[in-house]
Amino acid sequence: MPAAKPPYGVPNVTVANQRSEDETRIVVALLILVTALAAATIGFVAVPMIDEPHRAPQDCQMFVLTRSGVTKCVAETTP
């Protein structure tokens, strides 16, 4: 014989309060996953944008690579 169902609109409190261990583990695992993804987003996106030093505009318009492999600033010249 099937178990008696509660009348419509009245929750069965004894069944509603019982949560299986599997449901609890799934909720905790999803919470950890979301927290880890949020931390990774902050670590890989927000922190580099904040830590990047603001560079002053450079006076040099053209860089030339010398034979020794060093870049050298060449002053702007008129043709």
Chain CA centroid to CA 75, Å:
43
Torsion of CA 59, 61, 64, 70, to 10 degrees: 30
Whether the per-residue pLDDT at 18 is higher than 90: the answer is: no
CA distance 55 to 60: 14
Q: What is the mean pLDDT of residues 25-33?
A: 94
CA distance 19 to 59: 68
Average pLDDT, the chain: 75
Q: What pLDDT shows up at residue 13?
A: 57
pTM, entire model:
0.44
CA distance 10 to 62: 78
For 31-66, write each residue's pLDDT tens digit.
Answer: 999 999 999 998 888 887 787 666 666 677 777 777
Amino acid at 57: P
Residue spans of the domains in the chain: they are 13-74
